[in-house]
Structure 1
Amino acid sequence: MKYLFLVFLMNLLSQYAGKPLRRGGSYPKSFEDIKNEIAGYTDIAKAIIDLAVHGKAQNRSYERLAVFADTIGPRLSGSKNLDAAIKYMFSALQKDGLENVHLEPVKVPHWERGEEFAMMLEPRNQSIAILGLGNSVATPPEGITAEVIVVTSFDELHKRSQEAKGKIVVYNEPFISYGETVQYRVRGAVEAAKVGAVASLIRSITSFSIHSPHTGGQSYQPDVPQIPTACISVEDAEMMSRMSLRGTKIVVHLKMGAKTYPDSPSFNTVAEIVGSKYPEQENISNFDIVMESDEGTFKPSGLGFTGSAKAREIVKEIMTLLLPINATDVYDNADGTDIDYWMRDGVPGASLHNDISKYFWFHHSQGDMMTVQDPNQMNLCAAVWTVVSYVIADMEEMLPR
């Protein structure tokens, strides 16, 4: 969803731009001069905010995103849906009048989930909601039927390694934080395979669930057998944990038809939206800043920032222009898988900092649909990105490295 949000943002920028955007070199100015230059954008920032939040662009990002999401749906790498999404984006960018929009060939691994289901057979028949984890191998065509062992941690799994052989490992790990708890999704299959398990089921990495499994990526290791793995709901994981603690034998039948294609035939991706080739292909000294919104578009409070101390002070000053919508904070460290490459090589980076208290309720689940979005909050996010993008691009000098 974040990419269509970018289309709207670029459209908003092109609508308001009152003068050509400039590109300079290093920063010879004193910080006082820079502050004065930024203060000169007060009226422009107010006009952008008014346009996005109250004016003719109000709710446009929500409306365009709804058309995109409703029409195309999920977009796994290499899938037909992704190809349709790329064509949609390509057309939208062209219609918005952006320059140098073109397609280029890319090869990526292509994984398909396929048919999948799980059924508890003992102590009673009970359907278990599952979502296969990215790149999981399939079960045999007839599926896997095995007894379950429930653990709460990797330590417990390895202490009970003799019990785990030939069984399906169910992780009922407590949710501490996404960053800490996600290791069970990423490494769960590998750790289970090390002790001879035939499959692994991971409690969804979320603090809240209404019988909704949450998928995501997982990683195999070359020297460890690959076993099928999927996420299950918090409710089912806790139910099986209670049964296990009472000494109840649990037997589950699991069937997954997943398949991976190493490198799909070339398909096209939108390029040059914001100079977006990878570092090895572009002179990154021309990149002023890279920005990403990878944790939703809820009510914004500011930006996370990675860069030099001087650049941080400049960004802090730019953020004062967003006082009318109370989104002025600058937090340590930008975050986002799509901008990490550039930030590692020294390009300043920013990520949207917003209220993610409910983000992981829906993250990677079937519930991640337009109902989650709030058009008023999306308007605020659009204003944040557009003001920051415009001012940084238009200032006389680039952000200092």
Structure 2
Amino acid sequence: MLFTKYVITAAVAAVFAVPAFAAETLSAKDLQTASALRDAAQTGNLSYRILESLTTEIGPRMAGSKNDARAVAWAEAKFRELGFDKVWKEPVTFPVWTRGVESAEIVAPFPQPLLVTALGFSVGTPAEGITGDIVRFATLKDLIEAPDDAVRGKIAFIDHKMQKASDYGSVQAGRSQGASEAARKGAVALVIRSVGTDSHRFPHTGMMRYKEGIPKIPAAAISNPDADLVVRMLERGKPVSLKLRLGAENEGTYTSYNVIGEITGTEKKDEYVLIGGHLDSWDLGTGAIDDGAGVAITMAAGEFIKRQGLRPKRSIRVVLYANEEQGLIGGKAYHDAHVKDLHKIQAAAEADSGQGPVVRFSSYVQPAALPVVKQMFDVLAPLGVQAGDNDAHPGPDMGILKSAGTASFGLGLNNEDYFDLHHTPDDTFDKIVPARINQTAAAYAAFAWMAAQSPVSFGSGTDALKALKTVSK
């Protein structure tokens, strides 16, 4: 989410109000431990070092690639090196897509090369490429509402500019749906302005989907400066012709793995707090921000708790998901593998929006647990964290768990620069600021400890949480 100054409204304050009836709460000792974890972990956690290892020793980790397998081996070894009690992996199978060659150039009226990248699972062009006149649309909606003959035999160009992080949902719709909508009207290819807030001359890749029964046409993104260039050419009133060449291919299926490390609980070891991020990345950068940071933050949080000699009442499980980028496939696989035991998840919270810091804390718990949530917030508040509501989203891969009735938390991160780097060659380790990622890992460590120690269930699988879900809709 975009970093803003959150205002505590009466409705939000009510979430953290302690009910009139007596409620079980975290002990003074557990709160003191959480506060000590929060403070010590800000300088003592290993998140920065873990991320340096992942990006240096493995680098880009596109699902189905050779580096995917290397990343899985790295994760297993790293969990063991960090002292996790249990380490295992669970299979995740998916289609494999490869990028191949990529080029684009304006051939008329002002010949110039452009920087371009194929969107995930786009089909390729013929070897000689595709050439066509560009037809500009400000948004996906404008393309959908255009006359049926508006782009027949031409290249559709969606020029939807992303201004801020909160625009992502609306702007990426053109990326994910635009190819089929353009093909429905007879376009030979789709080009979009990159879904990003930067002005760098790097295009942003990302996932797209074809709709059944509609021809598949090549789809690609051009950088924001190149999109500006195309617009300036179009403003001169002459047809602008683009030649596009993509070597993208589908190459069967592949089995990767969700890699899991656990610190085993003492009193309720079969119940667990679930944190994590996704291990895969796109192939253009080294996946530092998306989502090596989430991997490192959650591994470091678990390791720091273990290093202090602390033994939580419930287990703390860190899952590094396979293939989030191409459709949340690892998250779905985890849900399916554990669907009969989701009630054992005390709390779920994923780190997948950069390095932080944490700026907001939200919950999705049964009402009886809100006094504990208030205590948790009070411990995190000194980090500069503000209060959210009781309808938290736990993160992309864990969203399916919330939908299935799992108690969830959102540790909202300052991601104001996230979409400058997202899915580009600029997503590299030099962008990581130690103080930022360390604060996030400290918040996750304190959160995971308190969630594991809670004297009450947060409500996974209960009627009380189901009722809350109905109300929140």
TM-score above 0.5:
yes
Is the 1:307–1:346 Cα contact (8 Å) retained in structure 2?
no
1:162 aligns with 2:143: no
**Cα distance between partner residues in 2 of 1:159 and 1:108:** 35
**Cα distance between partner residues in 2 of 1:79 and 1:291:** 27
1:322 aligns with 2:308: no
**Cα distance between partner residues in 1 of 2:139 and 2:443:** 41
| Cα displacement string for residues 267-326 of structure 1 (whole angstroms, at most 9, x for unaligned residues) | 444246428573333211111011101111222113233333333443232121123322
- Match of 1:302, SS state, is strand
Is the 1:170–1:237 Cα contact (8 Å) retained in structure 2?
no
1:205 counterpart residue number? 195
- Match of 1:303, SS state, is strand
Letter in 2 for 1:167: K
2:47 counterpart residue number? 61
Letter in 1 for 2:38: I
Give aligned-pair identity as a percent. 29
Shift in CA distance, 39/31, structure 1 to aligned 2, threshold 3 Å = farther
2:357 counterpart residue number? 299
1:106 counterpart residue number? 92
**Cα distance between partner residues in 1 of 2:60 and 2:363:** 30
1:270 aligns with 2:259: yes
- Match of 2:346, SS state, is coil
**Cα distance between partner residues in 1 of 2:395 and 2:431:** 21
Is the 1:169–1:199 Cα contact (8 Å) retained in structure 2?
yes
Is the 1:327–1:384 Cα contact (8 Å) retained in structure 2?
no
Shift in CA distance, 389/155, structure 1 to aligned 2, threshold 3 Å = closer
| Cα displacement string for residues 157-205 of structure 1 (whole angstroms, at most 9, x for unaligned residues) | 3424423111111111233611111111111111110111111111111
Shift in CA distance, 127/338, structure 1 to aligned 2, threshold 3 Å = same
Is the 1:320–1:328 Cα contact (8 Å) retained in structure 2?
no
1:394 counterpart residue number? 453
Q: Runs in 1 of length 4+ with deviation above 4 angstroms?
A: 29-33
Is the 1:148–1:170 Cα contact (8 Å) retained in structure 2?
yes
1:23 counterpart residue number? none
2:169 counterpart residue number? 179
Shift in CA distance, 170/104, structure 1 to aligned 2, threshold 3 Å = same
1:255 Cα deviation from its structure 2 partner? 0.7
- Further displaced range: 152-161 or 182-191: 152-161
| Cα displacement string for residues 43-85 of structure 1 (whole angstroms, at most 9, x for unaligned residues) | 212321232113x43xx21122012112211211111111111
Written as runs of structure 1 = structure 2, the 5 A alignment for 1:96-175 is: 96-157=82-143, 158-175=145-162
**Cα distance between partner residues in 2 of 1:192 and 1:70:** 40
> Cα RMSD over matched residues?
2.2
- Match of 1:108, SS state, is strand
Written as runs of structure 1 = structure 2, the 5 A alignment for 1:30-45 is: 32-35=22-25, 37-45=26-34
1:17 counterpart residue number? none
Aligned residue pairs total 368
Letter in 1 for 2:451: I
**Structure 2 alignment gaps of length 5 or more:** 1-18, 263-316, 320-332, 460-464, 466-473
Is the 1:109–1:261 Cα contact (8 Å) retained in structure 2?
yes
1:87 counterpart residue number? 73
- Match of 1:214, SS state, is coil
1:257 aligns with 2:247: yes
- Further displaced range: 226-235 or 294-303: 294-303
2:223 counterpart residue number? 233
**Cα distance between partner residues in 2 of 1:275 and 1:391:** 16
Shift in CA distance, 297/71, structure 1 to aligned 2, threshold 3 Å = same
- Further displaced range: 363-372 or 373-382: 363-372
Out of 343, 365, 368, which is 2:402 matched to? 343
1:48 counterpart residue number? 37
Is the 1:120–1:127 Cα contact (8 Å) retained in structure 2?
yes
TM (normalized to structure 2)? Answer: 0.73
- Match of 1:170, SS state, is strand
Shift in CA distance, 354/268, structure 1 to aligned 2, threshold 3 Å = closer
**Cα distance between partner residues in 1 of 2:229 and 2:148:** 22
1:288 counterpart residue number? 346
Is the 1:302–1:319 Cα contact (8 Å) retained in structure 2?
no
2:214 counterpart residue number? 224
**Cα distance between partner residues in 2 of 1:183 and 1:64:** 34
Is the 2:76–2:87 Cα contact (8 Å) retained in structure 1?
yes
TM (normalized to structure 1)? Answer: 0.86
**Cα distance between partner residues in 2 of 1:361 and 1:287:** 34
| Cα displacement string for residues 328-350 of structure 1 (whole angstroms, at most 9, x for unaligned residues) | 52344224221012111111112
1:379 Cα deviation from its structure 2 partner? 1.0
**Cα distance between partner residues in 2 of 1:257 and 1:79:** 16
2:204 counterpart residue number? 214
**Cα distance between partner residues in 1 of 2:54 and 2:349:** 22
